[in-house]
Structure 1
C-alpha cells in the first residue's frame, strides 16, 4: 500500500485532527509498520463513542498496516477510582471492552490488546515515569487534568498528578509512534511531543478522533460563541450518564426509546447529537441512508450523503422525529452483530452481566 493511501486511512473520519501531516509522512517513509495506540480506562459499558468510534479507527489503522496496540489501562482506572476502585471489577471491564471491539469487527489478529497489569511489571517503565515527572512542572501537569475527566482545581490527591506522567510513559514504553486517542486526550499527547526528543525518545504523531455528543441538551443552550469546547466537553457521551448514551449492547427497543428522548433541535445541525451520530456512524456504514415515513408525511426518503441530510433538515424538509426514528433503525441494524456475538460467547456475556450490575463511578 502506498503512503498516500495509508495517510488517507489514518486520517479517515471520525479522525478530526492530525499533528502533523509532515511528521506522519516522514514516519511512514521511515517505518513500514510503526506502532500506534489508543488507551482506555476500563470503567463500565462501551457506548457508541468508546465502542463504535474507537473500533472504526482501530480497523482503519489495521488496514493501513499499522501495528495497533489497544491499551486497557486498568491502573489508570484504579487511580481514577473507577468502579469504586475495585481492581477485580476493573479487570472484568477491560475484558468486556476487548470483547466489545471484537464484536464490532476489530481484527483480533491485527490489533494487540495490552493490559497495564502486565506492562507495569517492568521496572524500566517506572524509570521512564520518574524521568518524565522530573521534567513536568506542577503548572504544566495541572493544565492536563482534562485527560482524567477533571477541571483545573479539582485535583486533591498526589495520585491525580501522576496520571499524566504515567500516560506519557505508556507511550514511550510501548514504543508508540502514533498516538490515536480522542480529542479529550490531546493534552497528554502534546506533552509527549514537547518532551519526547528532549528525553532521548521521539516526537509522536498525534491523530485525535471526534467525541460523540451525549443525547441530552447541553447545559447551556444555545452554546455561546467561544465556549464551544467547554460546553461540548461536558456534553460528550458518557457511560456515567446511562440515559443520555447508547450502549452497543442495547436492544432495538432501548435504542428507539433513548433516541426518542434525545435532544434534536428542529432545523439545527450544529451540536445536534442525533445528526452527530448520523454523520460519524450512519454515513460511515451506509452509502444511502433511508428514512421510512408514512405516505401522508411524504413517504420514504433517501440521502446519499451527510450534506444532503443536513440541508434537508435545515430547510425543514425532515422532521426531528423522523430523523430520530431513522437513526434508531439504522443503529439497531449496525449493532446487531454485537448482540449476536454476546449471545454466542459465554465469557463475553459473563463480563457484560457483571459490569451491568456494578455501580459506575464518575
Structure 2
C-alpha cells in the first residue's frame, strides 16, 4: 500500500483522516448550535490562500482579501435541500471545503433548507420525510470527518418561523425590486430550466434563497457553480439598496456524473454518482462502467474524481502498477496527472483502479458508522425507502 494511504502509526488506512488542512476528526457533539473554537493562528495571506483554494471562481478576490484582513471570524454559508442519499461531491467535497474554511477562522453556517425542498417538491413535498433526510445528511458529514468546531446546522423552517418579522419583509423587498424574468433566470439553482413549467412556489424560491444570505449575515457564499446566478442576484440587490459590503461568492467546481455527457451527478440516477454509503463492490462496479476515454481529460469524470476528491484528501493520487507498465507513481498536482493521461503514460484502467482504492478508503468510516450505530442505521434504512422526486 502506498504511504499516502497509511495512518501516521502505520495502522488501518480505513480509519485515517488527512491531518493539517485535510479532514481532521472532530470532538464537538452533533447539534444545531454554535461550537467554540480556538482563534485562527494563520496570517491574513495564509487565510486568503486557504479560502481561495476552495473556489473555482471568486467574486471578488480583492473583497475576500479585505474581509480576511479586517474580520477574524467571517461567516460562510451554504444551503442544502434534504432530497435523498448524499453523493460523494456533497459528502467528501463539502467536508474538504468546510474544513479549509474553518481552519482559516471562518464560521460555517449550513442552512438545512427543508422548506425549500418542500417548495421544490423534493420527497414529494413531504416535510417530515425531508427533515428525516436532513438528519441523515448531518450524520454523513459527522462520520466522514467534517470538523464541526466552527459549524452550525440551522433549520430553515425553525429559524424563519422564529424570526419571521425579519425574514419575510426582506424576501418581499427582493421580490419587489426584481422582474419576473430575472427571477426565472435563477431557476438553475433548483435543478430546473428557464423553459420548465415552474410552480408558483418555484418562482418564490430564488427570492427566498437570496434573502437567506442577508438573514444569516453571511460574508461568503460558498456554494457550487450551479448556484452562481442567485448569489449574483444578492450582489445586485446590494447595489440596488446602496449597501457597500456585498457577499463574496466563492463557488466550487461541480463534479460531473460518471456517465458520458453528464455535467453533474443526479440522485435520481444511481449510476451517475457514488453515494456515501455505497459498498466496496458498488464503487468498483460504478467506476468500471464510468466514462473514461483514453488520452482525453476534458469531460472525463474519472479525471475530475481524481483531482477533486482523492488528490485533496490524501494530498496526492497514488497509482499502483507493474514496473513494465510504468511502475508505481504518486501525482501531487492536477497538471502532472493530466499530462500523463493526455500522453498515454497513465492508462484508463490504472486510473480507475487507483480511484476505486482511494474512494473506498475514504468511504469506509461512513459505512462503519451506518453499520455500527443503531440510530444511524435506522435512519439510513428509512431514507433508502423514500422515493426520490424531481
Query: TM-score scaled to structure 1, two decimals?
Result: 0.91
Deviations for 1:121-171, whole angstroms, at most 9, x for unmatched residues? 022211111111111111111111111111112143211110100001111
Task: Give the match for residue 49 of structure 2.
Answer: 8
Distance apart, 1:309 and its partner CA: 2.2
For the residues of structure 2 that align with 1:32 and 1:309, how far apart are their CA atoms? 36
Deviations for 1:66-122, whole angstroms, at most 9, x for unmatched residues? 111011100110000011111111001111111111112112231000111212102
1:327 has 2:355 as partner:
yes
Distance apart, 1:347 and its partner CA: 2.4
For the residues of structure 2 that align with 1:280 and 1:329, how far apart are their CA atoms? 15
Deviations for 1:274-324, whole angstroms, at most 9, x for unmatched residues? 000101111102244322235664543433433222222111122212211
The 1:251–1:172 alpha-carbon spacing in structure 2 relative to 1, beyond 3 Å, is: same
Task: Give the match for residue 198 of structure 2.
Answer: 156
1:244 has 2:272 as partner:
yes
For the residues of structure 2 that align with 1:142 and 1:52, how far apart are their CA atoms? 31
Determine if contact 1:155/1:161 at 8 Å carries over to the other structure. Answer: no
Secondary structure in 2 matching 1:143:
helix
1:88 has 2:131 as partner:
no
Distance apart, 1:64 and its partner CA: 0.8
Secondary structure in 2 matching 1:71:
strand
Structure 2 counterparts to residues 61-210 of structure 1, below 5 A = 61-121=101-161, 122-123=163-164, 124-199=166-241, 202-210=245-253
The 1:9–1:301 alpha-carbon spacing in structure 2 relative to 1, beyond 3 Å, is: closer
Deviations for 1:8-47, whole angstroms, at most 9, x for unmatched residues? 111114x201000111122223321121101111101111
Secondary structure in 2 matching 1:146:
helix
The 1:28–1:155 alpha-carbon spacing in structure 2 relative to 1, beyond 3 Å, is: farther
1:29 has 2:69 as partner:
yes
Greater mean alpha carbon deviation, residues 110-119 or residues 28-37: 28-37
Secondary structure in 1 matching 2:62:
helix
1:290 has 2:318 as partner:
yes
Task: Give the match for residue 360 of structure 1.
Answer: 388
Query: TM-score scaled to structure 2, two decimals?
Result: 0.85
Structure 2 residues not aligned, in runs of 5+: 1-41
RMSD over aligned Cα, in angstroms?
A: 1.6
The 1:147–1:288 alpha-carbon spacing in structure 2 relative to 1, beyond 3 Å, is: closer
Task: Give the match for residue 284 of structure 2.
Answer: 256
Q: How many residues align?
A: 346
Determine if contact 1:119/1:125 at 8 Å carries over to the other structure. Answer: no
2:294 pairs with 266, 276, 279, which one?
A: 266
For the residues of structure 2 that align with 1:192 and 1:302, how far apart are their CA atoms? 42
